[in-house]
Amino acid sequence: MMQPQGCEGDARMTNTIVGTQAIPAVNLSDTGVIAMPAVNPESTGVRTFPAARARSRRASRNMILTMVALMAAVFVLVGLSAYAASIQHANNVLAEENAYLQAEIDSLNSRIVEETKVTRVEEVATKKYGMVYPTSDNCIVINEKAESSTDLAASIRSEAYN
């Protein structure tokens, strides 16, 4: 065979293999061009069986479902983290309020202790209510010789007004 001008390679090749199908080459020797038939761009030249296509579809569907599940898991984790942060903030606010209330309780307890001391009670009784310590003039002596049949209140009354 004669090699056409301007073509590189072996001109003796009569068939070109694409995938598993042989496509015959057309040799136009008088023009020096080897013409190849057009290949359908949608066809890869590889034969696939229906079972293989179904497995491929299932695999791609499973991959999509896995991706969707992972995205949902990420959203759930982000949501739970945000919820946990809001709960932690609420706990911190409550802890501050509890600390303030405990300080106020401690302050009130110390005031109660100060106000119930004997010296403070005596001060309020003498200054505010005019109370005094008893003297011998303010005491009532009950006669031991008095009759036991008389009433104690009556004897105090008689001593006070006599």
| pLDDT < 70 positions in the chain | 1-48, 143-150, 162
Which strand (E) or helix (H) includes residue 24?
Answer: strand 21-24
Which residue is listed with tokens 């390679």? 9
Residue matched to tokens 């600390």: 99
The pLDDT value recorded for residue 88 is: 97
User: Which residues are CB-neighbours of 1 under 8 A, at least 6 positions away?
Assistant: 11, 12
- List beta partners, residue 35: 26
pLDDT of residue 103: 96
What is the C-alpha separation between 23 and 39, in angstroms, rounded?
9
pTM higher than 0.85 for the full model?
no
Q: What is the DSSP letter of 129?
A: S
